[in-house]
């Protein structure tokens, strides 16, 4: 049963937090000792850092939308393959807005504790593909 509940919590992070830009469920879904292993060095790897990433991403891509393409849950782990799309209309991590749209892939691994709160996250994004589509990296 934990796998099913953890999968539902991971889906809420994508749909309610990232897609809707609603930070209210973050403290409920992420443990106070949450650690993100994917953030750049200048962003705190904790719950506050998570909120700042969501806020910055939504400001840069106001039409941001993630679609969960595949999802697997086993025990305390949930893996997701996600398709992201958005238009860069605001500054993001030093990148100036281009007004161009991009579609990119992401892979996420979430680890939940016995209380059903997210305690660790690892992620991989197709940043180069996204930057090329936004006109911020040369084509290969």
pLDDT tens-place string over residues 27-76: 999 999 999 999 988 999 999 999 999 999 999 999 999 999 999 999 99
Residue 45 placed within a domain = yes
Condensed to tens digits (0 to 9), the pLDDT of residues 70-127 reads: 999 999 999 999 999 999 999 988 899 999 999 999 999 999 999 999 999 999 999 9
What's the residue count for the chain? 140
Say what the pTM is.
Answer: 0.94
Any idea what the CATH number is for the domain that residue 30 is in?
3.10.450.50
Closest residue by Cα to residue 100 from 66, 137, 55: 137
Residue 139 placed within a domain = no
Number of domain units in the chain: 1
Domain around 88 = 2-133
- CA distances in angstroms from 26 to 16, 30, 62, 99, listed in the order given: 9, 6, 19, 29
Residue 138 placed within a domain = no
């Amino acid at each position: 049963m934990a796998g099913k509940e953890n999968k539902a919590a991971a889906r809420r992070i994508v749909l309610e937090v990232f897609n809707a830009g609603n930070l209210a469920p973050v403290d409920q879904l992420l443990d106070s000792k949450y650690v993100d292993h994917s953030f750049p060095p200048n962003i705190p790897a904790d719950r506050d850092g998570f909120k700042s990433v969501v806020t910055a991403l939504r400001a840069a891509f106001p039409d941001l939308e993630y679609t969960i393409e595949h999802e697997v849950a086993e025990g305390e782990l949930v893996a997701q393959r996600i398709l992201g799309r958005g238009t860069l209309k605001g500054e993001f991590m030093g990148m100036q807005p281009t007004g161009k749209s991009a579609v990119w892939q992401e892979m996420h691994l979430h680890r939940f504790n016995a209380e059903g709160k997210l305690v660790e996250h690892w992620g991989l994004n197709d940043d180069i593909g996204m930057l090329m589509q936004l006109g911020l990296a040369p084509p290969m």
